[in-house]
Amino acid sequence: MMATLSDPMVPSPFRIQRVLKETYDTYTLELDPANGADGFSFAPGQFNMVYVSGVGEVPISISGDPDKPRTLVHTVRSVGTVTQKLCAGGRGRVLGVRGPFGTSWPVEQAVGSDVVVVCGGIGLAPLRPAIYHVMANREKYGRVALLYGARTPEDLLYKLELPRWRGQFDLQVEVTVDAATGGWRGNVGVVTTLIPPARFDAENTVAMVCGPEVMMRFTLLELEKRGVPSENTFVSMERNMKCAVGFCGHCQFGPTFICKDGPVFRYDQIQPFFVTREI
């Protein structure tokens, strides 16, 4: 029996089985159902509302492998009261989980096309399930490029997986950081500088973009310059999500609610709102 969403407002109990420290402030939590369920099915790009008893609830993207639903994986940056408690919680702690919620990355639509994944900072976490899916079905896609930017080499997520992905002959992985010292052998510069030389056929490419909004804005400009159609470009948006089912209106973004119409949007459908400061 998989954990299911019988009542979207009622959390299911999940127990922390493993905590991996990714960076000085970011942790990956592996959770197992604490109610006897077999696992947790989700689509790449979806998120959960994770509840820390007595503290509060936050939306967190699912960062695990959709083909391995036995373990629910979240990568969490410790930035607020709830996420600090989440990251401080050790093995065995029980959390409440509501979800999965929201739209997903267009991994089916991208079949037959080239795929470019552009992410910055912790934006790699919501894209990792899509990368797992594409790699598990590699023969269905054309060229695949992962372009990842972070502040420094110390801020990179998934440091063991990145070299493994890069070692595959059918996946272009380019990593860049904003600042580095002499020991760094990789790229230095913002993630947008990786787009012009990346290997993909722009007109036949599906782009998936995730990161802080300012990073996405400049990335979208660069993808447009390269010739990727805006209807083939997808972004994951963030707003203050509370109910996650479109009732409360906290996450309204133009005429949409991020929690139920997003978080993954086709760029041409939200383009006018994306560049509106007041939204």
Partner 1 sequence: MAAESLERILGEHPFFEGLKKAYLQLFVDCASNVRFNAGEMIFREGEDADKFYLIRQGKVALETYAPQRTVIIQTLGEGEVLGWSWLVPPYRWRFGARATELTRAIALDGKCLRGNSEEDHDLGYELMKRAAQIMERRLQAARLQLLDVYGSGPAKR
Footprint on this chain of partner 1 (rule: CB under 8 A): 47, 58-61, 76-77, 79-80, 82-83, 120-123, 125-126, 149-151, 155, 176, 178-182, 184-193, 197, 210-215, 218, 236, 238, 263
Strands 12-21 vs 94-101: parallel, antiparallel or unpaired: antiparallel
Contact call for residues 145 and 175 (beta carbons, < 8 A): no
DSSP 39: B
Instruction: State which residue, 47 or 253, has the beta carbon closest to partner 1.
Output: 47
Contact call for residues 56 and 82 (beta carbons, < 8 A): yes
Strands 205-210 vs 114-120: parallel, antiparallel or unpaired: parallel
Q: Could you give phi then psi for residue 174, rounded to 5 degrees? A: -120, 130
- The pair of three-digit structure tokens given for residue 117, joined into one six-digit string: 């994944």
Distance from C-alpha of 152 to C-alpha of 121, rounded to nearest angstrom: 10
User: Shortest approach of partner 1 to residue 262 CB, angstroms?
Assistant: 11
User: Shortest approach of partner 1 to residue 17 CB, angstroms?
Assistant: 21
Instruction: State which residue, 58 or 97, has the beta carbon closest to partner 1.
Output: 58
User: Shortest approach of partner 1 to residue 211 CB, angstroms?
Assistant: 6
Distance from C-alpha of 179 to C-alpha of 226, rounded to nearest angstrom: 25
Instruction: State which residue, 130 or 191, has the beta carbon closest to partner 1.
Output: 191
User: Shortest approach of partner 1 to residue 220 CB, angstroms?
Assistant: 13
Strand partners, 266: 234
Instruction: State which residue, 38 or 213, has the beta carbon closest to partner 1.
Output: 213
Instruction: State which residue, 72 or 150, has the beta carbon closest to partner 1.
Output: 150
User: Shortest approach of partner 1 to residue 139 CB, angstroms?
Assistant: 28
Instruction: State which residue, 66 or 123, has the beta carbon closest to partner 1.
Output: 123
CB-CB neighbours of 88 under 10 Å: 12
Q: Which residues contact 139 (CB under 8 A, 6 or more apart)?
A: none
Instruction: State which residue, 60 or 130, has the beta carbon closest to partner 1.
Output: 60
First to last CA, the chain: 41
Instruction: State which residue, 65 or 113, has the beta carbon closest to partner 1.
Output: 65
Contact call for residues 61 and 126 (beta carbons, < 8 A): yes
Burial of 24 (0-12, 13-18, 19+ CB in 10 A): exposed
User: Shortest approach of partner 1 to residue 104 CB, angstroms?
Assistant: 14
User: Shortest approach of partner 1 to residue 140 CB, angstroms?
Assistant: 26
User: Shortest approach of partner 1 to residue 197 CB, angstroms?
Assistant: 6
What's 107-120 look like in SS3?
Answer: CCCCCCCEEEEEEE
**113 membership: H or E segment, kind and range:** none
